Amino acid sequence: QTPAAATTLSSLMSTVRAINLVLPEIEVYLAGSSIDGQLVLNLRSTLVDPVVKVELVGRGYLRWLEEENPERDYEKSTACTNQVVYVSKTQNFHIKDGWLDSRVHTFDFHFTFPPNIPSTFTSKIGCISYTVQGTCCSSQVVLAKEERCLLLQGTAGDRRRHMKDKAPLVVEVRKDVVYFCRFRRGFVTLRISLEKNIFCPGDTIVFMTDIANRTCKYVRKVIFALHCIVLYRGFSSMGEPHYLEDQSEVTRLESRTDTAPFEAMRVTSALVLPKPMPVTSTLRENKIMAFRYELVGTSDLPCTTSTIVVRVPIIIAA
């Protein structure tokens, strides 16, 4: 780069005093809704032949490492990746007479989200993200840009698949316990009951837990958690499909029960769902990730290394 070119570039870069995106105060956008905002450009001096634009982009990306042959002595792993573009829209602004003078310029923009895009999501393996970016360019040089992340709640999913799941749901698990080298026996039963198992993001899951303690020790507590189980589909460098299932905890609650020996207790609990969150879906719907959920109740059995676990399938629909 010649000194003259460097001086010209430096002069161009100093032309823009500030660039700002002004967005509505909406915490979470819905798929299918619209976003109206402004790009505010503050110029220090006159700018000739500028390109001013705003872009809306939504992408999904995932990556994990997988051992090619775990039975061999040496370690060799392959990267499994996948990506998809859910939305890509650009609004270029018409510049009257081909120049902008030294003042504050405001450009209005409008985008509509597609109705079938998935929710914002982030994990150690993959993410689904949505951004709005404003850019000011001149002579193919980016002078200034600002990017803002958006939270989006997807509404896609086959509602007809879940119509049968509106009935009350009860799941019960019994765990046997042996004490004092098999001289004394007992068991603990956990039963979780829900009036329904279809919920929307932001809802409160209210459920009852019946604890039957047929041991000689107290059952002190039960931990409840909502797990999100994600099935990822990636491809190796050779184009071979690979699948990985991983789970994370969405929200949890620790409930002190102190159920006495040979007694029973009923506990009513509630878990509040966040917004946004992915809806229950398939790989066909989300292309690279599939989502399902479980409400899990866990309790350590007294004076043993055993744990009793109850898993209740939960459907998230919007």
pLDDT digits (tens, 9 = 90+) for 219-266: 999 999 999 999 999 999 889 999 999 999 999 999 999 989 899 999
pLDDT tens digits for 19-74? 999 999 999 999 999 999 999 999 999 999 999 999 999 999 999 998 766 566 55
d(CA 47, CA 43): 8
Q: What angle do CA 294, 152, 270 make, to 5 degrees?
A: 35
Average pLDDT over residues 90-99: 93
Last residue of a domain, one of 153, 181, 202: 153
Query: Maximum CA pair distance of the chain?
Result: 94
Same domain, 167 and 146: no
d(CA 188, CA 260): 11
210 falls within a domain? yes
Same domain, 101 and 190: no
- CATH code for the domain in which residue 53 is found: 2.60.40.640
3 falls within a domain? no
Its domain, for residue 125, covers 16-153
131 falls within a domain? yes
Same domain, 176 and 312: yes
pLDDT band at residue 159 under the 50/70/90 scheme: low
The pTM score is 0.86
74 falls within a domain? yes
pLDDT tens digits for 285-317? 989 999 999 999 999 887 777 899 999 999 999
